[in-house]
Every structure is written in structure tokens, then in C-alpha cells.
Structure 1
Amino acid sequence: MGIEVNNESGYEVDEAEFAALAKFVMDEMHLHPRTELSILFVEVEPMTELHVAWMDEPGPTDVLSFPMDELRPGRVDDPAPEGLLGDVVLCPEVAARQAATSGHSTTEELLLLTTHGILHLLGYDHAEPEEEREMFALQRKLLLTFLAGR
């Protein structure tokens, strides 16, 4: 897997941990071993600009996903084709506020958001209640399994 993690946020993150999480999620979703993904941590201002430009919504958000080759999950016996999965952009400052409200660490929030962003790249959504149940259950399972293996 080609996983690139860049931190332009000024917030301290363990880039290796986020790369390991992404590899775990991509393996669990049966993506081709040469699938590429980019994870980028940014400050509030660039996230606000992205949020306005791409979602037409004001202010910063926690995570945005930008799919490239519209890959979908594969199966054990039939992995997804090789390609560019896309970009996950995270804003640690927004995540820190959410983490404080939720009662867990900023790192835990960012790991959750990274998993969430990757699932969006794979076509999962949460616009409808049934979609939300499916996506959030998978997100929870993937993240808890990853954390249990650390």
C-alpha cells in the first residue's frame, strides 16, 4: 500500500500510527496491495477554504474525503483493483474540540475520523438512517479491532 501522511497543521500527530491505521483499514476492505492513499492534517484556515469550496458550507469541518478512482471494497477472493483511493484531509483543531465534548483524546478522535474518511472514499455514506447504521457499525468495528491490536 502506498500511504502518504503529511502534517501541515502544527498539531503533533504520530504519522506512523495513522499510516498503520490506514493500512489496516485498506487490508480489511480487501484493497489491492498497490492502492494509494494520502492523509493530510491541516490548520483551520485551509480546512475552512476546502469546506466552502467543495461542500459549500461555512467554517471548518473535521474531515473531508476526496475520492480519485472511485474504488470499492473487494473480497478475500477478489480484491479491489489497484488504483488511487484518494485523499483524506483532517483538521486537528476541530477534532480536538469534538474530542473534548465526547470525552476522549484528540488522537482517538482523529483515528476515528481517518477511518470515517477512508470509508467515504470507498463509497460509504450516512445520509440515510440505514446507510448511517451500516457505515458507523463498520467504522466502529474497524477502529476497535485496530486499537485492540496495538
Structure 2
Amino acid sequence: MDGILTALAVWLASHSAYPATEHPLPELVLLTPEGLTAEAYTDAPRMIPEGGVDDRINALYAIEDGANGVIYALAPQFVDGAEHFDDPADNPAFREIILHELVHHAQSMTGEYGRMQCRAQGERDAYLIGGRYLKSRHARDPLPNRNFWAHVYSRC
């Protein structure tokens, strides 16, 4: 998976203002839906939805974890459309999920988070850059109204 992170960092650096290739890459940890939900609710395990899966969560970026942050993400076989690829990691929807978190990593590494009113403001770029990535791959965007959600999720 290091190759995917490297390729996405190169894409990010060439399609945004983020110098993603100038910083160490985060670790990538792939999880089941149950494992990702447990990671997301580490500090509030009693809030885990009944059934053990919060299907709204595709990935998380943990700044404090690992030497350079950690991206916790759904393993590619659990991402919508995986069945259409010989290697589910080739799915543009999976790669966009990783790219989204890589934007957050770049925001952290460049100190941009410190210039934001709140970390939620970083969601705007992450959502919009992800949409550009999918468009560049001629892939269907699984997030209808991406511009709307980029605005909603970036509010402090």
C-alpha cells in the first residue's frame, strides 16, 4: 500500500497547493468496517451503533498516532464498487478515500491546521480535491452534492 500512498501524494502535490511529496507519509492501516468503527469510537465505546458498524465512516486521520500520523481506512474490499476490480485497491473510490485523509495529513505537516479556526475547515479542501481526483479518473462520484457537503462539513 506504500505505492498507493506515494502515487496519491504525487497526484496531490501536482493538483493542489499542498507539497505532499515534501513530507514523510503517514502509516496506512486497513480495517474491517467493525475495526474502523471501533477505532473511531476509541474514546467513546458506549456510543458505537448497534450492530458494531458506523457506515458513515470510511477513514480517519490520526495526527497523534505513529511517527507521522496514521490513516485508518476501510480495506479496499469493503469499499463500494470493489467487486468491479481484479484488485480492489485499484478502485478510484477507495483511492479517493485515502486521498481525502492524505489532504488532512498535508494540512497537518504544513502547519495549515494551526492557521484554521478549527480542524473542520480542512474538510473543504479534502472533499473538493477528492472530487477533482475522481473526475480526473473519469469515475462516478459516490458523494452526491459534493460541493454542498464540503461546505457543511467545513463549518466550525
The code of the aligned residue for 2:9 comes to A
When the two chains are superposed, the root-mean-square deviation of aligned CA atoms in Å is 3.8
1:43 corresponds to which of 32, 39, 51:
32
TM-aligned CA distance change 1:132 to 1:52, over 3 Å: closer
2:41 corresponds to which of 52, 68, 78:
52
CA–CA separation in structure 1 for the residues paired with 2:21 and 2:96: 23
Residues 1-150 of structure 1: pairs in structure 2 closer than 5 A = 5=1, 16-26=3-13, 28=16, 29-31=18-20, 33-54=22-43, 58=48, 59-60=53-54, 61-68=57-64, 84=68, 86-92=69-75, 94-96=78-80, 99=81, 107-121=91-105, 122=107, 123=113, 127=120, 133-142=124-133, 144-145=135-136, 147=137
CA–CA separation in structure 2 for the residues paired with 1:127 and 1:34: 22
Q: Is the 8 A contact 1:66 1:87 kept in 2?
A: yes
Q: Is the 8 A contact 1:62 1:94 kept in 2?
A: no
**Structure 1 position 26, deviation (Å):** 4.9
Q: Which is helix-richer, 1 or 2? A: 2
TM normalised by structure 2 equals: 0.51
Ranges in structure 1 where 5+ consecutive residues have no aligned partner: 6-14, 70-82
CA–CA separation in structure 2 for the residues paired with 1:135 and 1:32: 17
TM-aligned CA distance change 1:55 to 1:23, over 3 Å: farther
CA–CA separation in structure 1 for the residues paired with 2:32 and 2:23: 30
Aligned residues: 113
CA–CA separation in structure 2 for the residues paired with 1:94 and 1:55: 24
**Structure 1 position 134, deviation (Å):** 4.3
More relative contact order, 1 or 2 (CA 8 Å, 6+ apart): 1
Q: Is the 8 A contact 2:9 2:21 kept in 1?
A: no
Identity of aligned residues (%): 14
**Structure 1 position 47, deviation (Å):** 1.2
Deviates more, 1:23-32 or 1:109-118: 23-32
TM normalised by structure 1 equals: 0.53
Q: Is the 8 A contact 1:22 1:114 kept in 2?
A: no
CA–CA separation in structure 1 for the residues paired with 2:21 and 2:10: 11
